[in-house]
Amino acid sequence: MRHFSHLNFNNRLKIEKMLKEGKKQAEIARALRVDPSTISRELKRGTYMHLNSDLTTEERYSPDIAHQNYKRHLSEKGPEVKIGHDHEYAEHIEKKILEEGYSPGAVLGEIEEEGLTFKTKVSKTTLYRYIANGVLGVTNKDLLRKKKKKKKQNQKRAARPPRGESIENRPKEVESRETPGHWEMDCVEGPKEGSQKTLLVLTERKTRWEILILMARKTMECVVAALDDLERRCGEAFGQIFKTITVDNGSEFSDAEGMARSALDPEEARAQFFFCHAYCSWERGSNENQNTMVRRRYPKGFDFADTTEEEIKELERWINKYPRGIFNYKSAAKMFQQEFGDLISILL
């Protein structure tokens, strides 16, 4: 769980309420998911001497005073810091990074794409410098870091034939991403020991639209059942949306016939399925990249035992709404709607 260092005005109102209820600093920090030191600094920022009716005084916390001092702190960073004079802009950036998990580039890109207007405008390089210099309520620790992948030692593995039709026979248009409707499918699993719950992940290659399905187990039966449910949900539009699906050779995808067989008309195929070469996960590059977004919310080894379908749906919405640099910061949702029109409503 990430601990945010930034507090907005609503957080400050909650602090005032909890203090009146007699809550300790540690309890408030846990409730707001921040480090206790953040609450300590906040109380210093917003404490004032209150004069009672009997002329005695006592220390009290004021969310208004704390917020005013926070804004003044921004402005006092120096005349060269443009963002310090546009509190709305600063708070928008902080909210997107801290509460919605955006990168600085994604925040600025979305502002441009959505046509949002503020008094100030900064470049990505300048924003990163502001963060590094402590100008905003965001630190470098709050930013997503790419983990270096450990180099795997080359191991000679015996080649094995694919479980179904080879990716070598997949239409060339799929590789070029020229046409929509071509998907990659994979599973994101939990710990080796623990719940057997698994995520089935489908990624549309051209638009990067993501579908997440929570399954009870990582088995071929669960995969076929999930695809059956998805087809029934889409109805006759399934064939328009899902033309081909590319998978690896995992045991959960071993029922090639069951995956391809239509749940609406068992005599027909619902889509063409293609299988990657063994040990070549890069042949599902879009899928692999999208899985890193899933791992932002659910790190490797996370147990999905208590995870609800609504929580998975919320993650799916976040991924599809996220501004993509590859699309000039349009979201996958916008790209999907551009290609499929009103059919997007089926998958929302």
Q: Where are the domains of the chain?
A: 9-77, 87-133, 167-346
Q: What is the rounded CA–CA span in Å between residue 348 and residue 282?
A: 28
CA distances from 289 to 66, 282, 300 (A): 41, 10, 14
**What single string gives the DSSP state of each residue in 255-322?**
-HHHHHB-SS-TTSBSSEEEEPPTT-GGGGHHHHHHHHHHHHHS-TT--GGG--HHHHHHHHHHHHHS
Residues 25 and 264: their CA atoms lie apart, in Å, by: 58
**CA gap 35, 94 in Å, rounded:** 17
User: What pLDDT is recorded for position 68?
Assistant: 83
Q: What is the pLDDT of residue 78?
A: 52
Residue 240 CB contacts under 8 Å (≥ 6 apart), including other chains: 181, 340, 343
Q: Could you say which architecture CATH assigns to the domain 167-346?
A: 2-Layer Sandwich (3.30)
Provide the pLDDT for residue 37: 76
Classify residue 131 by burial, with Cβ atoms within 10 Å: 0-12, 13-18, 19+: buried
- Neighbouring CB atoms inside 10 A of 173's CB total 13
Tell me the C-alpha distance between 273 and 256, whole Å.
Answer: 7
Give the whole-angstrom CA distance, residue 113 versus residue 322.
Answer: 12
CA distance 128 to 146: 16
Per-residue pLDDT of the chain (348 residues; tens, 9 = 90+): 344 456 888 889 999 999 999 999 999 988 888 778 788 888 988 999 888 888 888 889 999 998 888 777 766 555 456 776 788 898 899 889 988 889 999 999 999 999 999 998 999 999 998 888 878 878 887 786 655 555 444 454 545 555 789 999 999 999 999 999 999 999 999 888 777 999 999 999 999 999 999 999 999 999 999 999 999 999 999 999 999 999 999 999 999 999 999 999 999 999 999 999 887 877 887 888 888 899 988 988 899 999 999 999 999 999 999 999 999 999 999 999 999 999 999 998
Give the pLDDT confidence score for residue 93 in this predicted structure.
92
Q: What is the pLDDT of residue 84?
A: 67
